Amino acid sequence: MKITEHLKNANDTLFSYEILPPLKGQSLKELLEGISPLMEFKPPFVDVTYHREEYIYKKHPNGLLERISTKKRPGTVGICAAIMNRFHIDAVPHLLCGGFTQEETENALIDLNFIGVENVLALRGDAPKTEGKFIPEPNGHNYASELVEQIVRMNNGKYLHEETEASFHTDFCIGVAGYPEKHFEAPSMKFDLKRLKEKVEKGAEYIVTQMFFDNQKYFEFVDQVREAGITVPIIPGIKPITTMGQITMLPRTFFLDLPDPLMDELEKCKTNAEVREVGIEWSIQQCKELIKAKVPSLHFYTMSKAGTTYAIAKEVF
């Protein structure tokens, strides 16, 4: 079922979450068993992230460096198939611009359609750690809006190297990302909203937000999105703080603010266990307020670890 249909048919706020593919060499069985406790809360869909190629540099005796491509995580297509087979729910793969040509994207979409995937989340993706800015692949996409266009063309039976419309049409429901505290590369929130509206006008049917810790930022974002003329559902993304390192890492990595009341409590913590307890309680209160506001779903960034999300969900669902 399409995400938009799940949201339309729901009487109450839904529960959904995102997982990371396991590192190469780790067991898919362990991943599935790790997230299975969350099935208690009846998620209608689960997002599966995708990671572009990464590189290592091998130094030769002559001093020259050789760049070697490596993929650290198994393919999303197979993981989506495993999730749908094991749990009988919808899997939502992430598709990236970064690291992929249009031909590779088309092939991935054909495979996903073949195994019964009906939803995709279209993202630009980040630059590799070794590069200072995002650089698209040759014959790749610069922006998520271009990726949305390609998916829509395939939904209309138009493929890259066919001169006439094909009889085979895909039928993907397309989600995109939204940023309550602005994408870090956008010069202003107004500019960011223009880019978001562009993605919707080109075919995106729902929005999932970046994580945030201040609900007011989400509520203000929704108001701004609606004022911009965007009417699609907006799903809030939730991630509790669980370690002391995340107190500085999350704002630095995701360009977001931690509210002063939350920081007041975190500053009292001496251990990761104490931080986790504060993070869980803060997220519980966040979720209760969002449910009261009748958000369409609470979407948890689990990092493939069910324990913290389970502790929150059991208090709010």
| Cα–Cα–Cα angle for 114, 158, 7, rounded to 5 degrees | 60
Q: How far apart are CA 202 and CA 272, in angstroms?
A: 44
Q: Enumerate residues 6+ apart whose C-beta is below 8 A from 236.
A: 209, 212, 218, 290, 295, 297, 298, 299
Q: Are 290 and 236 in contact (CB under 8 A)?
A: yes
Beta-bridge mates of residue 173: 119
Q: How far apart are CA 277 and CA 148, in angstroms?
A: 39
Measured over all CA atoms, what is the biggest interatomic distance in the chain, rounded to whole angstroms? 67
Which residue out of 18, 106, 118, 181 is catalytically annotated?
Answer: 18
Residues 214-227 as b/e (b if ≥16 CB within 10 A, e otherwise) read: bbebbbebbebbee
- Catalytic site residue 163? no
- Residue 256 CB neighbours (<10 A): 19
Q: How far apart are CA 151 and CA 106, in angstroms?
A: 8
- Residue 180 CB neighbours (<10 A): 24
Strand, helix or coil at 90? strand
Indicate which residues carry an active-site annotation: 18
